[in-house]
Structure 1
Amino acid sequence: MKKLGIYIHIPFCTKKCGYCDFYSVKWNEVQEDRYIQSAIKEIQSYKRLGDKFVVDTVFIGGGTPSIIKAESIEKLLNEVKKIFTVKKDAEITMEANPNTLTEDNLKEFNRIGINRLSMGVQSLEDNILKKIGRSHNSKEALEAIDRAKSQGFENINADLMFNIPGQTVESIKETILQLIKKGIKHISFYSLKLEEGTPMYKLEKDNKITMPEEELERAMYHAGIELMEKHKLLQYEVSNFAVKGYECRHNLKYWNQDEYIGIGPSAHSFLGSMRFNNPPNLTEYIVSSEDEIFERNIQEFMTEEDLSFEYIMLRLRLTEGLNLSDFKNKFKIDFKEKYLEQIKYLTENNLAELSDESMKLTRKGMDISNYVFMQFM
């Protein structure tokens, strides 16, 4: 059977961070219980796929999944197991804010089968955390890592953000070193991009904050890469670094163009050649679930040409690049023949490297990856 990833969106937060444009609403227990019942019904709506796929990754994101009851998460996972065969070694990730993790709920999260935590650390500078509206401080973040490890969690990711006003190259390096000392096996290293509609976007438009210059942003990124790789956290994707064997299997599905379904308001799915998503509205989601009707927005039915371009773009985000044999098997196209001119241009300008087996981006190519991708359109 084919493998399937499942993303479950928990649309609750205690407060909204200044940079965040992901869909979420303020948590309350009544809404939590209503949402869980609705999400269970949506999982059941995919019953027809139960004998076609085996689930090997589940990613519970948000929002802030760690603010709801472990019992609620358990109900969702149990429903997934009723509908699908879930592999014994499935990767089951849950996002968490550091200040929501206690010994008691960590013990419960471990018991119900969560085997990978993704912590929204973002920074270990208290002034930076305050500036971006995070609800934890650096001490709470470091203590949460220790607490999680004491409760049996070895596979822990730390989300880390750079390009925040007030950050320096040295402060980024210090944060990374502290995480490495804590034994973190995976770091997602993102450059802050201000999205329209967020508080920080408005602050910049009103000239109340100034974003770092591009030269400093790149210096932070390169310093982070160098330091992490020195300590065996190897880059495997533009923004992701891991000790060998701890790469995020669920996120690799996105970059490998594998199939996945999304549960909950705003969640996205990819099945066959169709990309679709649920509307970002919790009230509508709950109401429609009462009639067991889930209205999904079809983003696109992808042609073979669409799929092949997207596959090139996704695979070139990975440091291992695009495997030429896999591309030919998937699309019945000889990559080197079809894209002869693009390959020549990219290799001559030190943006990509071509071997008999694959094409991958150079460090220079990674830096301007969007420009590289456009060459294949």
Structure 2
Amino acid sequence: MRGMYIHIPFCHQICHYCDFNKVFFKNQPVDAYIESIGQELAVMRQEGTSFERLETVFLGGGTPTSLSEQQLDRLLAIIHDYVDVSSLTEFSTEANPDELTYGKLKVLKNGGVDRLSIGVQSFDTELLKKIGRTHNADDPVRVITDARKVGFENMSIDLIYGLPGQTIAQWQDTLNQALALDLPHYSGYSLIVEPKTVFYNLMNKGRLPLPGEDIEAEMFAMLMEHMDQHGRKRYEISNFAVPGYESIHNLIYWENATYAGIGAGAHGYLNGERYSNIGPIAKYMEKTTAGERPIQQRHLVTETEAMEEEMFLGLRTAKGVSFSSFEKKFGQSLETVYGETIEQLVQDGLVERSDDRVKLTRIGVFRGNEVFQQFLA
């Protein structure tokens, strides 16, 4: 196992585009839930799972920074009970700009967290209101200034394009303000309208004025161009970094490697099995309190599925998929399994072969989903 993901499902405000497992913070058993994280880790250890050689821990949500200083401190103490944090290569947390106080920054830093992934999404105040965010355009600057004072260097911000009513000019301004912060890492995602979200309901009622595919493609091109001009290299379709500051935890996902998923609704991949935890908090806690794994679903990944995942996850990265690594991992050559598919995609100009690797072309990056689909049975 290379990584650990810990899910904190609490939010003070539900964003209109979010479909992750989350609940409003108020009147929730937050303290008891934090203790249940430790109970789940204890059960896994009793079953023989070792957390001794982890590379990364990632706190996600929901919103980890919705917790108070005392709650964050307790959560980090529990993690220290099971993980040698000092040996980690990366310890990350997601954060909201308006919740990340100076005090919380100090708690996180003292607890071993060394990377912040801040959900900025836009620097346009009106757009932020439209998508259900509670921070304003000035909060990220304050947070990043405070974080640097506390000692954080490895920081990233998330941005979203293709938002309802968003113009090219607004996206240009957001990119300019984001890059002015001079951070080592940026993520830029196109809006995906997911079921069971506010935006999904609005779209079904014809009340979600999305920019359209052509404008969205132009925004993506702007994102890549601006990041490259500022020395942030694209290492995955939506992620850009100064070399050496790539997100190690996310690379674990894209390299199809193993990780533990801890918390209500969390997903994990261990011992050839993908699993998901129970989502409802009360039911999750009922299982952990009883000393049981709170697993809702298990799926033993077949070799065919593992090879498919190797391709569509690996092709998301700029370096692509290695022919030699694929053969070492599966005992079959990439040519034997996917040779015809790769050749057709090369002819279509969507992938290219370079030395030991196959990777997306620039056109292929724009049409990634179309490429990935070719590797699914």
TM-score clears 0.5: yes
Match of 1:11 among 9, 29, 35: 9
SS of 1:164's partner is coil
8 Å CA contact 1:165, 1:210 repeated in 2:
yes
8 Å CA contact 2:323, 2:356 repeated in 1:
yes
Aligned mates of 2:12, 2:84 — CA distance in 1: 34
Aligned mates of 2:334, 2:293 — CA distance in 1: 39
Aligned mates of 1:191, 1:278 — CA distance in 2: 27
Match of 1:36 among 15, 34, 37: 34
Per-residue CA deviation, residues 153-198 of structure 1 (Å, 9 max, x unaligned), is: 1111101000002212232122122121112111111111111121
8 Å CA contact 1:241, 1:247 repeated in 2:
yes
Cα displacement (A) at 1:339: 2.3
Instruction: Name the structure 2 match of 1:370.
Output: 369
Cα displacement (A) at 1:71: 3.7
SS of 1:339's partner is helix
Per-residue CA deviation, residues 320-369 of structure 1 (Å, 9 max, x unaligned), is: 00011111110111112332211221111111111231000101111111
Aligned mates of 1:74, 1:257 — CA distance in 2: 31
Instruction: Name the structure 1 match of 2:213.
Output: 214
Instruction: Name the structure 1 match of 2:252.
Output: 253
Aligned mates of 1:142, 1:85 — CA distance in 2: 32
8 Å CA contact 2:17, 2:199 repeated in 1:
yes
Greater mean deviation of Cα atoms: 59-68 or 30-39: 30-39
CA change 1:52–1:175 in 2 (3 A) is closer
Instruction: Name the structure 2 match of 1:168.
Output: 167
Greater mean deviation of Cα atoms: 203-212 or 32-41: 203-212
One-letter identity of the residue aligned with 1:219: E
One-letter identity of the residue aligned with 1:82: D
One-letter identity of the residue aligned with 1:364: I
Cα displacement (A) at 1:52: 7.2
Cα displacement (A) at 1:287: 2.1
One-letter identity of the residue aligned with 1:13: C
Greater mean deviation of Cα atoms: 204-213 or 10-19: 204-213
SS of 2:54's partner is strand
Greater mean deviation of Cα atoms: 97-106 or 78-87: 78-87
Greater mean deviation of Cα atoms: 30-39 or 113-122: 30-39
Aligned mates of 1:272, 1:366 — CA distance in 2: 31
8 Å CA contact 2:320, 2:357 repeated in 1:
yes
Aligned mates of 1:290, 1:82 — CA distance in 2: 18
Q: Kindly tell me the number of residue pairs found equivalent between the two proteins.
A: 375
Greater mean deviation of Cα atoms: 347-356 or 25-34: 25-34
One-letter identity of the residue aligned with 1:22: F
Instruction: Name the structure 2 match of 1:352.
Output: 351
Cα displacement (A) at 1:87: 5.2
Instruction: Name the structure 2 match of 1:286.
Output: 285
SS of 2:186's partner is strand
Provide TM-score, normalisation by structure 2.
Answer: 0.95
SS of 1:99's partner is coil
SS of 2:29's partner is helix
Per-residue CA deviation, residues 51-98 of structure 1 (Å, 9 max, x unaligned), is: 475111000011111121344334333333433444524311111110
Instruction: Name the structure 2 match of 1:225.
Output: 224
- Within a 5 Å distance, the mapping from 1:203-352 to structure 2 comes to 203-352=202-351
Per-residue CA deviation, residues 22-47 of structure 1 (Å, 9 max, x unaligned), is: 11112147611110111110011121
SS of 1:226's partner is helix
SS of 2:2's partner is strand
Instruction: Name the structure 1 match of 2:90.
Output: 91
8 Å CA contact 1:50, 1:84 repeated in 2:
no
8 Å CA contact 1:146, 1:182 repeated in 2:
no
